[in-house]
Structure 1
Amino acid sequence: MLRFSDWIRKVRPFIIPTSLKRKLVYVLVFSTLVPLLLIGMISYMSMHTILEKKITSGIHSNLKQVRVSLENVLSNLNYSSQQLALDGRIGKDIYAYLTTEQPYGRKMLAGQIETEMNLLTSTNPNIGLMFYYLKDSEQILFPNLLVKDHFQPERLPVFTELQSMTYYGPHPTYNAHFNRTVMSLTRKMDVPDLEPLYIYMETDNRLVDTIFNKLQYGMEVRHLVIDTDNRIAYSEQPDLFPAGTIFGGAAEQGNGKMIGDFYLFEEDSNQGWRVAAVISASAYKQEIFHWFLQFLAVALLSLSVSLAFAWLIWRTVTRPLTRLNREIRSMTQTQEARGLQLTGTDEIDYSLRRFNDMQKTIVELIEDIKQSERKKSRLEVEKRIAQINPHFVHNTLDTIRWQARMNGQEDIDHLISTLNRVLHYNLGKGETASIHEELEALKDYVALQEVRYQFHFDIRISVSPEQLMLRIPRFILQPLIENALYHGIRDDGFIRVEIGRSGQERIRIQVSDNGGGMTPEEAGQLLKEEHSSRRQQGMGIGIPYVVQSLKYQYGDAASIDIQSAVDEGTTIAITLPADYVEEENEHASIRCGG
């Protein structure tokens, strides 16, 4: 189960970013979101009020237009029906038609009435079906269009009543050719000595649909028509406001107030009836929601632009930092000052220049340290030579003294001459010498050792004449021969010195013996500069001197290797760069001591 501390440790980098990229992204995102949220809140409150007023004003304006249109319809029905009344031209003819008993006269009047009614229909396009009817006998007279069966005006929704006229709210037409919603009127004619006579007149089949057009609101709207008795005469929302029921009206709900999930708006007529608009909450807030979507799109666009700028700034900053990091890595790997490559950014370029100056200073300090180490190594070598040479002189002089006692004075001249040559070479100046000079000094050294130990050493030297011109470190062969003598040579033992090429530009010096040898551990100890076995007899200064001289003069370009085993002899091999000297020598092979 993940512990709370572990969870905090995992989410901490996302809450408190440590990388430059995340910090830039967080800063730009917050700097974009916070103003957007503040502006969005203020804009939403302001726009919500403005849009609500705009929507409410638009609804009232359209609803007023509906009310005016309905008033015009009623007025037009009233005006048109007056021409059918008794005091109108057609009304007088219908009275004469009903009271005349002569067939011919009735026929002539019927033709004249039909002509007048057709003329009235053609001159008033807002009028649809119209006719006369006798209420008691339910007889329909002179219809201008075909009438449906079972005409029952008492079942129609009463809209309002004015004197002898009754207006009916929207209802299905009695025109047999159509099935649309119309408004209608019945007008009673006071005909003496006759059964009740009424005029029935409808609006055009398309007029009501035009009046209650929902597209003019720009949203889904349902209309209600409330009569003078506060009863719903017409309803386009029958589930919530069924026709024929009492309507609570503005006194209860009020304009713009909600009833369930609907908003209600009303418009009153001077005649006492009202028209209302019922709008669902989703449709009412659609424009506000549309504005919110637009604002959200702008916010997302702004956020995307901020992220793009974050990426651009990150690239602008990280490229110079990457170059600076590359410069640091190059210094740690090569430790060499390289050419300065500027980034074009003043602040980063200033740091690059300072870093480049620091890099040059560090490289110079490293070189000074190397020079100091070389000088230190050289002084150490000179110090060791100065410390060891007195022992060599003491031992040699002691040998001369005993030789003089035992053998007289015949060999003293030869011995002292040899000693002088060795001392002159060993104490000479210069770090390198030719192979010829080194071999001559080695021959004198071996001669002195033969006198000292009263033993003939078989030392075999093999070198080609052209190799004698090469230069090698001074005093490098003597420690190798001394090491072979120190580890012991049997009566039939020998020491072999081989000098030759190793490739085009390297020299290989190999000293081998068949003495007692040593273990690999002892051979490894000889290569250590501080090995205690360097204190040896005679003029020897030990293998550590050779190792230090090679390291001082050639660094890693030279190498030394010791191969040895107990009772199997020892082989020491040195490989170093070739260096020529202008000198000629005819020796092809040199053999010391025999």
Structure 2
Amino acid sequence: MDRLSSLQRRLRRMIIPTSLKRKLVNVLLLSTFIPLLLIGIISYTSMHTILENKITNGIHSNLQQVRVSLENVLGNLNYASQNLAFDGRVGKDIYAYMSNDHPYDRKSLAGKIETEMNLLTSTNPNIGLMFYYVQGTNRILFPNLQVREGIDPDALPVFTKLQDMTYYGPHQTLNAQFDRKVMSITRKIDYPDLEELYIYMETDNRLVDTVFNKMQYGMEVYHLIVDTDNRIAYSEKPSAFPVGMKLDPKEEGSGRSVYGNQYVFEEASNQGWRVVAVIPMKSYKHEILNWFMQFGLVAVVSLFVSLGFAWLIWRIVMRPLTRLNREIRLMMQNQSQGKLQLTGTDEFDYSLRCFHEMKGTVIQLIEDIKENERNESRLEVEKMISQINPHFVHNTLDTIRWQARLNGQEDIDHLISTLNRVLHYNLGKGETATIREELEALKDYIALQEIRYQFHFDIRISVPEEQLEIRIPRFMLQPLVENALYHGIADDGLIRVDISREGRHIRIEVSDNGAGMSPEEAERLLQGDDSAHKRRGMGIGMPYVIRTLKYQYGKSAGIDIQSRSGEGTSIIITIPSSTTGKGE
């Protein structure tokens, strides 16, 4: 359940952001993206129709120009061929030449015919090769240019026939001097009593390239010429549309058809043949795709601009909030800041000044409270010390007095020496001492107590040699041992003093095998309940230890009582080893 709740919270934060930065980014992105999306849908619908009409009309216009150009070319060939026909000027000379057997006359007529054909060529620059030929034998007469060998005009691709004329689609020129595509016609001349004679005439070598100009479309295009039988007579892409193939595209509307993955546009001539433009769909849609990419680029730029504005607004708002948050963290950590950094925004600067002043006042109050607590703790400790020392001196002097009565004068010197050492240490100045000094004072104190109470008890001290120079609070061990001696054990009892280093702390444990106490009593003693101290007969020793630790180490020190009734008591103190307290 906890994992499910955590997952639900994460999803909710992803969907509904909680940070100001994410909210600003989302709002600006939505305010930019939604209008762009709506404008894009409307624009795409409108522009798609406009561009479709533009492209389709442009293609049909170009095809119409091609059709008109081809009709003009064929019309020009038709007109020029009439001069070579039977009723034309050259045609009559041809008939005279063919029907005359006199060599001189034939030679004269041949010269005249060549001159007239050259004149016809020079006055019609769109006409290229032309000649007469005899069908069946393909014997060529009066060519104006050099003719390829082995030609057969009847094998050329036919795309329409009208009466005695045959029109041929673009094919390889029969001119031996060039290698280009041309259009041509053949015309039959009906001479009485003569073999079948035909006129062959083709366009100029550059004319077809000019008519089928692909550059005017602005895209990839292939031209076809389809004859009256719906078969391809000419193809610029024979691999996909071979000559002789029957073209049967699927009507789509908008003035175009579809054949595979290509669009087909047609323009029909008055003679029944059609000129066709085949455009791949990818190329056809290229202009629309370019517009869409341009719109997408504008949209992306707009989104980045929105992100930039979001970042700018975030900086304008978040920088002051960050500084205010920094002031709050410093206050929580009880740290002060030297100079207040303003934001340059009046509203935020006013709040920062007010908070900075409030923070200074609060920090000063906290310091005053701490100082008062330290002074109060010091007074209490000094008061306890002043109470402990007279009490100890009184008991020691009383012990010396009774010893003198019972045993004579020989032990008084030793007793007084020991007492002087104890008094010198306990009344000494400074708040800390080394463990070695504390243990020597403790041994003198135990010697005095053995003399005083006249019963034997065993005290065992365990501390590593290398730790004897570590400083701990002065007069720390004696009150703990005194409590164990007075209130914990009887004759033949055992007191253990164990001091060890654990990481960065010093651990001091004083334990006995005496009467012990309940956990409730131990807890009350640790909480400073004076009534509990009085009930246990502990006087001021234990409160002194607790308050000394609190004064010198604060929360860095710890004290714990582990005890069970009838099994003994252990008092465990831990203090930092990296410091010696507040004074030496």
- Alignment correspondent of 1:278: 278
Unpaired segments ≥5 residues, structure 2: 405-411, 432-440, 455-468, 486-494, 498-508, 513-521, 560-567, 569-579
Deviation at 1:116, TM superposition (A): 3.3
Q: In the alignment, residue 157 of structure 1 is paired with which amino acid?
A: V
| Cα displacement (A) at 1:98 | 1.7
Normalised TM-score (structure 2) = 0.66
Alpha-carbon separation, structure 2, partners of 1:371 and 1:113: 135
Matches within 5 A, 1:205-216: 205-216=205-216
> Which position in structure 1 is the counterpart of 2:73?
73
In structure 1, runs of 5+ residues without a counterpart are 386-424, 427-437, 473-479, 494-502, 567-573, 579-594
**Whole-Å Cα distance in 2 between the matches of residues 231 and 507 of structure 1?**
116
Which deviates further from its counterpart, 235-244 or 264-273?
A: 235-244
Q: Which residue in 2 is equivalent to 1:157?
A: 158
Q: Equivalent residue for 1:543?
A: 541
Other-structure match for 1:392: none
> Quick check: 1:337–1:363 contact (8 Å CA) kept in 2?
no
Q: How many residues align?
A: 493
Q: Tell me, yes or no, if the aligned pair for 2:553 and 2:581 is still in contact at 8 Å.
A: no
* Structure 2 counterpart of 1:173: 173
Alpha-carbon separation, structure 2, partners of 1:510 and 1:316: 59
Instruction: Give the Å deviation of 1:104.
Output: 2.0
The equivalent residue for 2:420 is 460
C-alpha spacing 1:5/1:272, structure 2 compared with 1 (3 Å): farther
Matched, 1:59 2:53: no
Return the alpha-carbon distance in structure 1 between the equivalents of residues 360 and 428 of structure 2. 40
Shift of 1:193: 3.8
**Which one is further off, 71-80 or 271-280?**
271-280
Whether the 8 Å CA contact 1:184–1:202 is kept in 2: the answer is: yes
Q: What's 2:300 paired with?
A: 300
Question: Taking structure 1 as the reference length, what is the TM-score of the superposition?
Answer: 0.65
- The corresponding residue for 1:418 is none
- In 2, are the aligned partners of 1:130 and 1:199 still within 8 Å (CA)? yes
Match of 1:488 among 421, 426, 449: 449
Q: In structure 2, what is the equivalent of residue 114 of structure 1?
A: 114
- Tell me the distance in 1 between the aligned counterparts of 2:395 and 2:105: 177
* In structure 1, distance between residues paired with 2:139 and 2:550: 141
1:168 match: secondary structure: strand
Code of the aligned partner of 1:169: G
> Does structure 2 retain, via aligned residues, the 8 Å contact 1:253–1:264?
no
Q: Which amino acid aligns with 1:290?
A: N
The CA distance in 2 between the partners of 1:552 and 1:156, in whole Å, is 116
Kindly report which structure 2 residues correspond to 1:36-47, keeping only aligned pairs within 5 A, or say none. Answer: 36-47=36-47
- Report the Cα distance in structure 2 between the residues aligned to 1:154 and 1:185, rounded to whole angstroms: 12
Q: Following superposition of structure 1 onto structure 2, how do residues 299-448 of structure 1 map, counting pairs within 5 Å? A: 299-314=299-314, 317-336=317-336, 339-346=339-346, 348-367=348-367, 369-370=369-370, 373=373
Measured in 1, the distance between the counterparts of 2:448 and 2:368 equals 41
Conserved 8 A contact 2:422-2:445: no
% identity of equivalent residues: 54
Q: For residues 33 and 99 of structure 1, do their structure 2 counterparts lie closer, same or farther at Cα, with a shift above 3 Å needed?
A: same
1:201 corresponds to 2:161: no
Matched AA of 2:334: T
Counterpart-to-counterpart distance in 1, 2:16 and 2:44: 32
Residues 367-376 or 196-205, more deviating:
367-376
Q: Report the counterpart of residue 94 of structure 1 in structure 2.
A: 94
Whether the 8 Å contact between 1:529 and 1:545 is mirrored in structure 2 is: yes
Stretch deviating more after TM superposition (199-208 or 31-40): 31-40
The CA deviation at 1:148 is 3.6
Return the alpha-carbon distance in structure 2 between the equivalents of residues 310 and 355 of structure 1: 28
SS across alignment from 2:128: strand
2: distance between equivalents of 1:295 and 1:352? 46
CA deviation profile, 1:221-276 (whole Å, cap 9, x unmatched): 22233445665543446677665566669999772233443323222334444322
Superposed CA deviations along residues 290-330 of structure 1, whole A, max 9, x for unmatched, are 22222223333333444444455555555444444433333
Question: Secondary structure of 1:195's match?
Answer: coil
Q: Which deviations, in whole Å up to 9, do the C-alpha atoms of 1:479-523 show, x marking residues without a partner?
A: x99x96998361699xxxxxxxxx9xx997899899996655668
Matched residue, 1:391: none
1:443–1:19 Cα change, 3 Å? closer
Name the Cα RMSD after superposition: 5.4
Distance apart, 1:83 and its partner CA: 3.2
CA radius of gyration, larger in? 1
Shift of the 553–148 alpha-carbon distance from structure 1 to 2, 3 Å rule, reads closer
Taking the aligned partners of 2:72 and 2:446, their CA distance within structure 1 comes to: 141
What corresponds to 1:234 in structure 2?
234
The equivalent of 1:397 in structure 2 is none
Would you say the 8 A contact 1:165–1:185 is kept in 2?
yes
